[in-house]
Amino acid sequence: MPTVDASPYPFTFHPESTALLIIDMQRDFVEPGGFGETLGNDVSKLQKVIPPLVRLLGAARAAGLPVIHTREGHLPDLSDCPPAKLNRGAPSMRIGDPGPKGRILIRGEYGHDIVDDLKPLGDEPVIDKPGKGSFYATNLGELLAEKGVTSLIVTGVTTEVCVHTTVREANDRGFECLVVSDCVGSYFDGFQEAGLAMIAAQGGIFGWVTPSDKLIEVM
């Protein structure tokens, strides 16, 4: 069985019950002119994730692992966006406002879609989620059960928000989670470091952490 050197201790996985989960690698978070930038963030910090994630995605596809993508966003009438989310903070543009890449975080808009380098293949599920967690108000749990998946290789953005929320949701649902340190990204260096440390702390309270080169080697 493949075993990866990881923190806090080696992670062993069954390829037939492991999926690669790629969270919210959308133009709205990663490219200028999107939601992330309207909140005042430096999106170049998230762009660093793309090259290692492209390599990991290639290795996962070659190894035959199921690949599942998620996108955070809302219906055009915003009926699935709670006012608390819509109104929070003081962004220069709100969810649903017209921006350079279409309406911010709205399904079907150019900015809402996944960046070209990580474009899903036709047979790779894309889960549209209204929240931060990938399990909340989606069919991800059912999809993983149908595929017999019990372990998740978790990647995407942002480390402390949608990645963390998803890992916590997955942990409570009994999944083993390996978070790939250079394939997750944050706008804040301190949050990236602390977010990864929190996952592996206390004997792996939420899961394991490893860099992509170690994982690709065993794939």
Nearer to ligand C5J among residue 38 and residue 158 (C-beta): 158
State whether residue 72 is helix, strand or coil.
strand
Residue appearing with tokens 């493949």: 2
At closest approach, how far in Å is the CB of 120 from ligand C5J? 16
How near is the Cβ of 61 to ligand C5J at its closest, in Å? 23
Q: Does 37 sit near ligand C5J (CB under 6 A)? A: no
Q: Does 29 bind ligand C5J (CB under 6 A)?
A: yes
Q: Residue 72 or 128: which CB sits closer to ligand C5J?
A: 72
Of 112-171, binders to ligand C5J (CB under 6 A) are: 132, 157-158, 161-162
Q: What is the DSSP string of 164-219?
A: HHHHHHHHHTT-EEEEEEEEEE-SSHHHHHHHHHHHHHHHHSS-EEE-HHHHHHH-
Residue with tokens 């991800």: 140
Measured distance CA(93)–CA(104) in Å, rounded: 8
- Shorter beta-carbon distance to ligand C5J: residue 115 or 216: 115
Does 31 participate in binding ligand C5J (rule CB under 6 A)?
no
**CA nearest to 197, candidates 161, 160, 170, 162:** 160
- Is 109 a residue that touches ligand C5J (CB under 6 A)? no
Catalytic residues: 24, 129, 162
Q: Is 43 in the site for ligand C5J (CB under 6 A)?
A: no
- Interface positions, 184-213, toward ligand C5J (CB under 6 A): none
Residue 88 neighbours by CB under 8 Å, 6+ apart = none
Residues that bind ligand C5J (CB under 6 A): 24, 29, 72, 132, 157-158, 161-162
